[in-house]
C-alpha cells in the first residue's frame, strides 16, 4: 500500500480523486471444454475512482461476477487489461477484499477463526485478531455464533461471517457480489448502514453487485447497468446525486430517489426481457 | 589372545535348514565362545542374499555355497572359502510317486515340470546338470520355482510338478508322506560319487580376501570353532544332535527330524578340506549349466584357502 | 451410545467366533475325506492360541515385537511425512509434477523384494534397511492421495484465501493442509498396514530379530503354528496403531458435518 | 500447447539423462577410492541397456512379459473391482463397516510374502496365485479410498438426489459413483504399481515364467544386469498401464473445473 | 401417490381441502458437537392444505430452512411430528420436491442432464426425459445453456436449473427455499408467474421461503411470520385474500396489496430488530 509513483499519470485526476480501478477494453470469453467459445463480456471500459461507491446491476448471468473476478485478478481477461491505482494488474489484486457470491468460508475453522484469520494473515497477533474478530461478529449480529462451523450456520449467517471477514481487513478496494442476497429486508438495511458507515470513515473504492435496484441507489455514488449477455456491455452509467451521509432505509422516502429509481428501472427492464428471450430461444 | 575383531557378523540362509547345521551347532555348543568370538548370526532369505550382504560389507563371513567363491571370481570379487562344512550338495532329485512308472531315470525327464527352490539356485543347477549329463537339453523341461518349506510340499501334493529337485527337510517330509520316489540322491557318498565322480562341496565358510588378510587371527578362531564342531558331529548320535539344536528346528516332529538327520549324515565334511578334484567337479557343474561362465579364467586355487585348517587347534 | 457400542462389540466378537469356528472345523473335520484347511498349512486355532500365549508367557516375544514396532513406526512416520511433503510440493508445482510423474510411477512399480539387497548395502543390517522397505510402500500410498487431495480443494475457498492475502505458506497451513486431511487419513489407514508389511518383509529377507524373523524361522521348519501365531500378533498390533491414527483423525476433523451418509 | 508439451518432454528426458549420468558415474568412477554405486550391486547403464535390447531382440522376453501382463491386469481389475464394491457397500452400511473394520485392517497388515504358500496351496502355481497376491495389495488401497470417497459426497447434493426419489441403486450410479471417482482414480494410480509388484513377487516366490521369474533367476546367479534389465522393463511397462488409466480418468472427469490450483 | 385411506381422519376437512402438510409441535434442537444444545425452533404447529400456497418469512437464521428440512424428512425433529397427507412421516417425504437454499446440482452432469434425471429416476425413458428437460430449460430461460456444467453457470443460472429440476417432476408438495434469491427483479417476476401458472394447473401445496415480503404477498394464499431465533415460533399467520389468477408484477399495484404489506411489514420489522439485538449481545 506504498504510495504509488508513476510519472506519466498525475496522481490527482481532474475529478478530484485518483482512479482506483480502471477496466480498459476488458473482454472475457470462456472456452467451454476446449471447444465452443462463449463471449460473456464484450470489451468494456470503466473506472472506479478512489472513494467512489459504484453499484453494478444487470440481468442474471450477464457477467457481473465475471467482471469482479477480473478486477480481483482471479480471472485473466481475454483482451484488455485492468489497472489498480494506475498500475497494470498482473496476478492477484492484493489491494482489494472480495466477498464472493458463493459460500467461501473455510469449513474447518469456526466462524470466529474465519474472521480472525483475515487479520492474522497480515501479521496481527492471534489474541488481538480474535479480539477484533469478536467485535466484528457482534457488528454483523452474530456475537453468539462465534464457535460455530460453517455447516452449523444458516445461509444468511454464513454470508454475514463472510462480510465480517472481508471488512475486518479494511482493504482499499471492496468487491462485493450480492453481499446481502440471503438476508431479510431489515437485516439488509442494517448491514447497508454498517457498510456505509465504514466506507465514510476511509472512503474505500467499492464495486457492489446487487439485484436490488433500491439498494443500489440507496448506497451508491453511481449505478452501472449491464446489458444481457452474451457479449454483455455497460449500457448505462447513472450518477446518484443524493446527499451524504445517508441512511439506507430513510433515503428511500426521498422523492429524488424515486425519480432515479424509475429512470434506471425502465432501462433495466428492457434488458432483462432481452436476456430472457435470448435464453429461451 | 588378541583377536583383531572379536565380534563378527555371520550371514546364513535359513538357519533351521540342515544345510546350516554346523553353524547352529557351533553356536549352541559354545565353540565360538571358546575361541573368544562373539558371533551374531544374520538370517537371510537365501544364500544369494547373504553373499550380497558380504560383498556389500554388512556381514564379515558367510556360511554358504562353495560355488559362490567361483562365481565371485568370475565377477572380480575375491571371496575365499576357509573350511568346508558340507562335502555333498545334499540335493535330491525325485519324481512324484504316480509318475514313477513313466519317469524311471533322469533321461525320462523330457517335458516334465520340475520344481526347484528358486531359479538360479543350487537345486536348479543340479537338475540342469543331471539332464545335460543324461544327454537332454535342460530347456526341454520346465523349471518351476516352488520356494522352500510348505509351498514346495504343497506343489508336490497338489500334483503341480512331476519332479522335484530339493533339499532337506522338504525331501524327508515328502518321503514321510510317501509322495515321491528318489532318482538321484546327493546326500549320500554313493549318490554324489555316481553323479560327480568326486565330492562336490556345498556349504563352506567363506570370507572376503581382504578380511582374511586383515584379520588372520579372527579367521583362525572361526576355523577352529567350526573344525571342532565338525569333529563333534562325526561322533555324535542323531539324538545328541537333536538335543543340541533349538526345539523349534525339529519340524514339529522329532522322529521326522531324526530321519532327516540320518539321511544327511554323510553330507557333513569330516575334515573340512576341499581337494582339487572336488573343486573341479564343482567347476564342471557350473560351466555345464552356465555358458557365460568362462572356465579358463577361473583359478580354483584361489577359491579355497586351506592354511587355517592346517593350523587348526583341533584336527 | 452405550448400548450401541456394546451391540457393536458383540457383533465383532461374533464375527471372530464364526471365523475361528470355520478355521477349527476346516482344519480338524474332514469333509468328503479331505480337510478343507489342512493342518499342515493352517495349523489349528487352539494350537495357534497356545503358541501366542506361550510366546508372551516366556517373554521371548517382547524383544521381537519391540524391534518390529520401532521399524513400523519409523516407516510409517517417515513414509507419510515424505508422502505428504512431496505430495504437497508436486501439487503446488505443476511443472515439477508433470516432469517427475512418469518416474514416480516407475519407482512405485519396482518390486520391493528385489530392492532389499540394495537397502542392505546402503543402510546395513540394522533396522534402517527394514524401515526403508516400509517407507517405499507407505510413501506412494500417501503421496498419491495427498497430491490428489490438494487438487480437490474447493476453488472458491481457495480464491477467498488468496484474496485475503495469504502467502504460499499460509495457504498451505490454512487451506491445503486441512482440506487434504481427509484424503491423507484415508491413505494413512492403508499405510499403517503397509508399514508393518514392509518391516516384516525386510526382516523376512534378512535379519536377526523381529516378528518377520520369527515367522521366517518358523516357516523353514514347517512350523505353521508359529507362522500363524506371528501373523496374529502382527495384525493385533496393527489395530493398536490404527486406533491411534483414528484418534488423531477424530481430533483433527471435528469440523466435519456428522453422518452425511445414511442420515434419515 | 504444442510448445509446452515439447518443453515438458525435454525436461523429462533431461531428468532421465541426469539420473543415468549419476548411475554411470557412480558405477564406473571411484570417488575417494570407493564406488558410490558398485557395479556388483547396480551394474552399469550401458550393460543394462544392452541386456534389454538383447532380451527383446532374442524374443525371449515376450512370453514372460505376456504372463506378467496378464497377471498384473487381472490383479488390477479384480482388486479394484473388489475394492470399489466392498468400499461402496461398507460406506452404505455403517453397521457392517463398523463390525468388519478391525478385521479388514488386520488382514491388510498380513505380510503378503507369508501368504504366498497359502495362495499356492489353494490356487496352484499358475497365474492365479500371483493374481491373488496382487489383489491383496490392490484391494486395500482402492477399498480405503472408495470408502472414504463415498463418505465425502456433498451432503446437499446427496439430499437433493434423495428428495428426487432416487433408489439406493440410482444414488449409487448418479451420486456416489461419480463423486467417489476422483478418490478412486487417485487410488488406482497407486495400485497399478502394486498390482505389478504383487504379480512379480508372486512369480519371485514360485513360478515357471514371468518377469519375476527372470529377475529371480538372474539374482540366483548374481546377474545384476539381468535384475536391473528386468526391473527396467517392468517399470516401463507400468507406465503404459498407468497411461491407460489416465485416459479413462480424463474421459470420466470432464466435468471438473480445470486448473483449480495455481490459476492466476 | 396412491389414494390415502385412514378411517380416523376424514379425507375432506371442513375447509374444503385435505391437509397436505401438518407440523405438530415440531421442535428442533441442534446438539453442537456433542456439547451445548441450541434450540433453533420452539414447538411449532401449522398446516398447509392441499392446493395452498404458503410463504414463510422471518429474520435471517430464524429456522425457515430448518422447518423445510423437517418437512422434507431430512431432519428428524427433536419433539413433535410431521404428517403428510394425514400419514405420519417416517424417513424421507417422497411426495415433495425440495429446492434447496444452497446449490445442489450434481456437478458431474450437464444442466440438461441434471433436469432430465429427475424424470429418469421415476422411469421415464431417457429420450423423453431429455425432451421434457429441454422444454423446462427453455421455460427458465436457459435453453442455450443445456450443455453447461454447474461451475460454468452464474449463480442465478444455477438456481434456475435447480428450479427446473424440481418442477419437472410435478411433486404434490413443493418446498422452496429462497428460490429466486440470486435473481434480478424482473427475472424473479417471470419465474414467479411461471410458478403460479404451474401451481394453478394442479394446485400443489407450496411452502415458499423468501426474504422478499412483496414476493411473498404477491404469490401466496397465506404468509406465515416466524420470530427471531433461537426458540423461533410462528408469530403471525396472515391470509392473503387477493384475487386469483394474479400476475406477480401487476398485483403490486393493487391498493389491497399495500395495506397487507404494511401490516405484515410492521410485525416483521419488530422481529428483525430483536434478532439483531440478540445476536449482538
Ligand atoms: N467457467 C465458465 N465457463 C463458461 N461460461 C461461464 C463460466 N463462468 C461464467 N460463465 C458464463 O458467463 C456469463 C456471466 O456469468 P456471471 O457469473 O458473471 O454472471 P452474473 O452476472 O454474476 O450472474 P448472476 O447474477 O446470476 O450471478 C454467464 O452466462 C455464465 O454462463
Ligand atoms: N447443523 C446445525 N447445527 C447447529 N445449529 C444449526 C444447524 N443448522 C442450523 N442451525 C441454527 O439454526 C438456526 C436456524 O437455521 P436455518 O438455516 O433454519 O435459518 P433460516 O431461517 O433458513 O435462515 P436464513 O434466512 O439465513 O437462511 C440458525 O440460528 C442456525 O445457526
Ligand atoms: Mg454472479
Ligand atoms: Mg435458510
DSSP 8-class letter at A9: S
Three-class secondary structure of residue E233 per DSSP = coil
pTM of the model: 0.82
According to the model, what pLDDT value does residue A113 have? 92
C76 vs D: CB within 8 A: no
Q: What is the mean pLDDT of residues C91-108?
A: 84
Q: Do C234 and D11 count as a contact with CB atoms less than 8 A apart?
A: no
Q: Are residues C24 and C118 in the same domain?
A: no
Residue C214 counted as domain residue = yes
Q: Is the pLDDT of residue E124 over 80?
A: yes
Q: How far apart are CA C261 and CA D147, in angstroms?
A: 11
Q: Are residues D23 and D141 in the same domain?
A: no
Ligand 1 pocket: which of A38, A103, A232, A274 to mutate (most atoms <8 Å of CB)?
A38
Q: Are residues C66 and C114 in the same domain?
A: yes
- Residue A200: pLDDT band (50, 70, 90) is confident
According to the model, what pLDDT value does residue B39 have? 84
The answer to whether the peptide bond before residue E245 is cis (omega within 30 degrees of 0) is yes
Residue C261 counted as domain residue = no
Residue B203 parent element (H or E): strand B203-208
Q: D121-167: per-residue pLDDT in tens?
A: 778 777 888 898 889 888 988 888 888 888 888 888 999 999 888 88
Residue D258 counted as domain residue = no
Q: What is the mean pLDDT of residues E118-147?
A: 89
- Residue D224: pLDDT band (50, 70, 90) is confident
Q: How far apart are CA B93 and CA B163, in angstroms?
A: 7
Q: How far is D163 from chain A (nearest CA, A)?
A: 20
Q: How far apart are CA D118 and CA B151, in angstroms?
A: 7
Residue A41 parent element (H or E): strand A37-49
According to the model, what pLDDT value does residue B20 have? 82
C58 vs E: CB within 8 A: no
Q: Is the pLDDT of residue A104 over 50?
A: yes
Q: C210-238: per-residue pLDDT in tens?
A: 888 888 777 766 677 888 888 888 888 88
- Residue C2: pLDDT band (50, 70, 90) is low
DSSP 8-class letter at C257: P
Residue C170 counted as domain residue = yes
Q: Considering chain A, what is the average pLDDT of its residues?
A: 83
Bigger pLDDT: D20 or E34? D20
Q: Is the pLDDT of residue A11 over 50?
A: no
Q: How far apart are CA D231 and CA D52, in angstroms?
A: 10
Residue D192 counted as domain residue = yes
Is-contact E118 E180, C-beta < 8 A? no
Nearest CA in chain C to B250: C221
Q: What is the mean pLDDT of residues D162-174?
A: 88
- Domains in chain E, CATH or no CATH each: 17-95+174-265 (3.40.50.300), 104-170 (no CATH)
Three-class secondary structure of residue B183 per DSSP = strand
The CATH number of residue D154's host domain is 1.10.3720.10
Q: E177-219: per-residue pLDDT in tens?
A: 988 888 887 788 888 888 888 888 888 889 999 888 888 888 8
Residue D151 counted as domain residue = yes
Q: Considering chain D, what is the average pLDDT of its residues?
A: 82
Q: A206-230: per-residue pLDDT in tens?
A: 999 988 888 888 888 899 988 887 8
Give B199: exposed, middle or buried? Use CB within 10 Å, 0-12, 13-18, 19+: buried
Q: How far is E136 from chain D (nearest CA, A)?
A: 16
Q: Are residues C84 and C5 in the same domain?
A: no
Q: Considering chain E, what is the average pLDDT of its residues?
A: 83
Q: 131-170 in C: which are within 8 Å (CB) of D?
A: 140-141, 144-145, 147-153, 155, 158
E186 vs A: CB within 8 A: yes
Bigger pLDDT: C18 or D185? C18
Q: Is the pLDDT of residue B306 over 80?
A: no
Q: What is the mean pLDDT of residues A168-183?
A: 88
Q: Are residues C27 and C50 in the same domain?
A: no
Nearest CA in chain A to D254: A33
All chains having 3 or more CB pairs closer than 8 angstroms to chain B: C, D
HSE-CB for A30 with a 13 A CA cutoff: 21
Of C165, C167, C255, which is closest to A107 when you measure between CB atoms? C255
Q: Considering chain C, what is the average pLDDT of its residues?
A: 82
Calculate the CA A278 to chain-centre distance.
Answer: 27
Distance B209 CA to ligand 3 centre (A): 80
Helices (H), C93-126: 94-108, 112-123
- Residue B90: pLDDT band (50, 70, 90) is confident
Q: Is the pLDDT of residue A2 over 70?
A: no
* Residues 6 or more apart in contact with residue D123 via CB below 8 angstroms: D129, D131, D132
Q: Is the pLDDT of residue A115 over 90?
A: yes
Q: Are residues D31 and D138 in the same domain?
A: no
Q: Which residues does ligand 1 sit against, CB inside 6 Å? A: A 30, 32, 38, 40, 58, 60-66, 101, 229; E 151-157, 182
Residue D262 counted as domain residue = no
Distance A217 CA to ligand 3 centre (A): 19
Of B75, B145, B290, which is closest to D40 when you measure between CB atoms? B75
According to the model, what pLDDT value does residue A114 have? 92
Work out the widest C-alpha separation in chain E, in whole angstroms: 57
Task: Count up the domains in chain D and report the number.
Answer: 2
Residues lying with their CB under 5 A of ligand 3, a single-atom ion: A 65, 101; E 154-155
End-to-end alpha carbon distance in chain B: 20
Q: Is the pLDDT of residue D104 over 50?
A: yes
Q: How far apart are CA D250 and CA D239, in angstroms?
A: 16
Q: How far apart are CA B55 and CA B64, in angstroms?
A: 13
- Residue E56: pLDDT band (50, 70, 90) is very high
Give the bridge partners for A99, in sequence order.
A176
According to the model, what pLDDT value does residue A3 have? 41
Q: Considering chain B, what is the average pLDDT of its residues?
A: 81
According to the model, what pLDDT value does residue B113 have? 85
What is the residue range of C79's domain? Answer: 43-252
According to the model, what pLDDT value does residue E165 have? 92
Work out the widest C-alpha separation in chain A, in whole angstroms: 57
Residue C14 parent element (H or E): helix C2-28
Q: B178-196: per-residue pLDDT in tens?
A: 888 888 888 888 888 888 7
Return the number of other C-beta atoms located less than 10 Å from residue C252's C-beta. 16
Q: A16-67: per-residue pLDDT in tens?
A: 568 888 998 889 988 887 678 888 888 988 889 888 899 998 888 888 999 9
Of D254, D263, D264, which is closest to A33 when you measure between CB atoms? D254
Q: How far apart are CA D96 and CA B170, in angstroms?
A: 43
Q: Pick from E72, E68, E17, E26: which is nearest to E46 by CA? A: E26
- Residue C261: pLDDT band (50, 70, 90) is very low
Q: What is the mean pLDDT of residues B61-85?
A: 83
Q: C64-88: per-residue pLDDT in tens?
A: 888 888 988 899 899 989 998 898 8
Q: Is the pLDDT of residue A15 over 60?
A: no
Q: B209-219: per-residue pLDDT in tens?
A: 888 888 888 88
Residue C141 counted as domain residue = yes
Distance A36 CA to ligand 4 centre (A): 37
Q: Whose CA is nearest to atom 16 of ligand 2?
A: E63
Q: How many residues does chain C have?
A: 264
According to the model, what pLDDT value does residue E279 have? 53
E74 vs A: CB within 8 A: no
Among A193-202, B75-84, D33-42, the least confident range: D33-42
Q: What is the mean pLDDT of residues A185-204?
A: 83
Per 3-state DSSP, chain E is made up of helix, strand and coil in percentages (nearest 5) of 40, 25, 40
Q: Are residues D92 and D133 in the same domain?
A: yes
Q: Are residues C126 and C248 in the same domain?
A: yes
Q: Are residues D27 and D65 in the same domain?
A: no
Q: Are residues C25 and C103 in the same domain?
A: no
Q: Are residues D67 and D103 in the same domain?
A: yes
According to the model, what pLDDT value does residue A278 have? 63
Q: Do E30 and A152 count as a contact with CB atoms less than 8 A apart?
A: yes
Bigger pLDDT: C99 or B118? C99
Q: Are residues C83 and C139 in the same domain?
A: yes
Q: Whose CA is nearest to atom 23 of ligand 1?
A: A61
Amino acid at each position: 500500500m506504498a504510495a504509488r509513483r508513476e510519472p506519466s499519470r498525475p496522481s490527482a485526476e481532474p475529478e478530484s480523486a485518483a482512479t482506483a480501478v480502471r477496466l480498459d477494453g476488458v473482454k472475457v470469453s470462456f472456452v467451454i471444454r476446449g471447444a465452443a467459445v462463449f463471449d460473456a463480456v464484450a470489451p468494456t471500459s470503466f473506472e472506479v475512482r478512489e472513494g467512489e461507491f459504484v453499484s453494478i446491476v444487470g440481468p442474471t448471468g450477464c457477467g457481473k461476477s465475471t467482471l469482479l473476478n477480473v478486477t480481483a485478478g482471479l480471472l485473466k481477461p481475454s483482451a484488455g487489461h485492468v489497472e489498480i491505482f494506475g498500475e497494470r494488474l498482473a496476478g492477484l489484486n492484493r489491494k482489494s477484499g472480495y466477498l464472493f457470491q458463493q459460500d467461501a468460508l473455510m469449513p474447518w475453522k469456526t466462524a470466529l477463526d474465519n474472521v480472525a484469520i483475515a487479520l492474522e494473515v497480515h501479521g496481527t497477533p492471534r489474541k488481538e485478531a480474535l479480539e477484533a474478530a469478536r467485535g466484528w461478529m457482534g457488528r454483523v449480529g452474530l456475537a453468539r455464533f462465534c464457535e460455530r462451523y460453517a455447516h452449523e450456520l444458516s445461509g444468511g449467517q454464513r454470508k454475514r461471517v463472510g462480510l465480517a471477514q472481508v471488512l475486518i481487513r479494511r482493504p482499499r478496494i471492496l468487491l462485493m457480489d450480492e453481499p446481502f442476497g440471503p438476508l431479510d429486508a431489515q437485516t439488509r438495511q442494517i448491514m447497508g448502514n454498517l457498510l456505509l458507515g465504514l466506507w465514510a470513515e476511509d472512503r474505500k473504492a467499492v464495486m457492489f453487485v446487487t439485484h436490488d435496484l433500491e439498494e443500489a441507489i440507496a448506497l451508491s455514488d453511481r449505478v452501472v447497468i449491464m446489458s444481457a449477455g452474451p457479449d454483455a456491455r455497460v449500457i448505462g452509467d447513472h450518477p446518484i446525486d443524493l446527499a451524504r451521509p445517508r441512511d439506507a432505509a430513510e433515503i428511500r422516502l426521498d422523492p429524488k430517489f424515486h425519480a432515479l429509481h424509475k429512470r434506471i428501472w425502465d432501462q433495466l427492464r428492457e434488458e432483462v426481457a432481452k436476456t430472457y428471450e435470448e435464453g429461451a430461444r | 589372545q588378541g583377536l583383531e575383531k572379536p565380534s563378527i557378523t555371520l550371514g546364513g540362509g535359513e538357519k533351521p535348514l540342515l544345510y546350516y547345521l554346523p553353524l547352529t551347532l557351533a553356536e549352541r555348543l559354545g565353540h565360538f565362545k571358546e575361541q573368544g568370538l562373539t558371533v551374531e548370526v544374520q538370517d537371510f532369505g537365501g544364500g544369494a542374499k547373504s553373499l550380497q550382504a558380504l560383498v556389500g560389507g554388512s556381514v564379515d563371513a558367510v556360511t554358504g555355497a562353495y560355488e559362490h567363491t567361483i562365481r565371485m571370481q568370475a565377477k572380480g570379487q575375491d571371496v575365499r572359502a576357509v573350511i568346508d562344512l558340507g562335502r555333498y550338495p545334499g540335493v535330491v532329485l525325485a519324481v512324484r510317486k504316480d509318475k514313477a512308472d513313466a519317469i524311471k531315470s533322469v533321461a525320462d525327464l523330457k517335458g516334465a515340470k520340475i520344481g526347484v527352490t528358486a531359479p538360479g539356485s543350487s537345486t536348479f543347477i543340479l537338475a540342469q546338470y543331471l539332464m545335460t549329463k543324461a544327454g537332454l537339453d535342460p530347456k526341454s523341461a520346465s523349471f518351476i520355482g516352488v520356494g522352500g518349506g510348505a509351498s514346495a510340499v504343497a506343489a508336490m501334493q497338489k500334483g503341480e510338478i512331476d519332479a522335484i529337485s530339493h533339499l532337506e527337510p522338504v525331501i524327508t517330509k515328502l518321503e514321510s508322506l510317501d509322495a515321491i520316489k528318489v532318482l538321484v540322491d546327493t546326500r549320500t557318498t554313493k549318490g554324489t560319487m555316481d553323479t560327480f565322480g568326486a565330492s562336490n562341496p556345498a556349504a563352506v565358510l567363506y570370507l572376503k580376501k581382504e578380511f582374511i588378510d586383515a584379520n588372520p587371527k579372527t579367521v583362525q578362531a572361526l576355523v577352529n570353532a567350526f573344525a571342532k564342531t565338525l569333529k563333534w558331529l562325526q561322533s555324535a548320535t542323531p539324538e545328541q544332535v537333536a538335543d543340541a539344536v533349538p526345539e523349534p528346528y525339529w519340524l514339529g516332529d522329532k522322529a521326522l527330524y531324526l530321519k532327516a538327520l540320518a539321511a544327511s549324515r554323510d553330507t557333513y565334511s569330516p575334515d573340512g578340506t576341499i581337494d582339487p578334484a572336488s573343486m573341479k567337479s564343482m567347476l564342471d557343474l557350473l560351466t555345464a549349466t552356465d555358458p557365460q561362465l568362462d572356465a579358463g579364467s577361473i583359478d580354483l586355487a584361489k577359491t579355497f584357502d586351506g592354511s587355517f585348517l592346517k593350523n587348526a587347534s583341533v584336527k | 451410545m452405550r448400548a450401541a457400542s456394546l451391540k457393536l462389540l458383540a457383533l465383532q466378537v461374533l464375527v471372530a467366533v464364526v471365523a475361528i469356528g470355520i478355521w477349527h472345523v476346516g482344519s480338524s473335520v474332514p469333509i468328503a475325506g479331505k480337510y478343507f484347511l489342512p493342518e499342515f498349512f493352517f495349523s489349528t486355532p487352539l494350537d495357534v492360541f497356545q503358541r501366542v500365549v506361550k510366546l508372551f508367557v516366556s517373554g521371548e516375544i517382547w524383544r521381537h515385537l519391540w524391534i518390529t514396532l520401532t521399524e513400523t513406526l519409523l516407516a510409517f512416520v517417515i513414509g507419510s511425512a515424505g508422502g505428504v511433503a512431496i505430495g504437497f510440493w508436486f501439487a503446488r508445482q505443476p511443472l515439477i509434477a508433470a516432469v517427475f510423474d512418469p518416474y514416480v510411477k516407475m519407482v512405485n512399480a519396482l518390486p520391493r523384494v528385489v530392492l532389499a539387497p540394495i537397502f542392505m548395502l546402503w543402510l546395513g543390517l540394522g533396522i534402517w534397511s527394514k524401515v526403508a522397505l516400509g517407507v517405499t510402500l507407505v510413501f506412494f500410498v500417501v503421496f498419491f492421495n495427498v497430491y490428489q487431495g490438494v487438487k480437490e480443494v474447493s476453488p472458491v475457498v481457495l480464491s477467498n484465501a488468496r484474496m485475503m492475502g495469504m502467502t504460499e505458506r499460509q495457504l498451505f497451513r490454512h487451506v491445503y493442509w486441512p482440506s487434504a486431511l481427509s484424503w491423507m487419513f484415508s491413505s494413512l489407514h492403508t499405510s499403517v498396514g503397509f508399514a508393518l508389511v514392509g518391516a516384516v518383509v525386510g526382516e523376512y529377507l534378512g535379519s536377526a530379530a523381529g516378528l518377520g524373523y520369527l515367522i521366517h524361522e518358523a516357516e523353514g521348519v514347517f512350523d505353521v503354528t508359529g507362522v500363524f501365531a506371528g501373523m496374529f500378533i502382527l495384525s493385533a498390533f496393527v489395530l493398536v496403531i490404527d486406533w491411534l491414527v483414528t484418534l488423531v483423525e477424530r481430533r483433527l476433523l471435528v469440523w466435519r458435518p456428522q453422518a452425511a451418509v445414511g442420515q434419515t
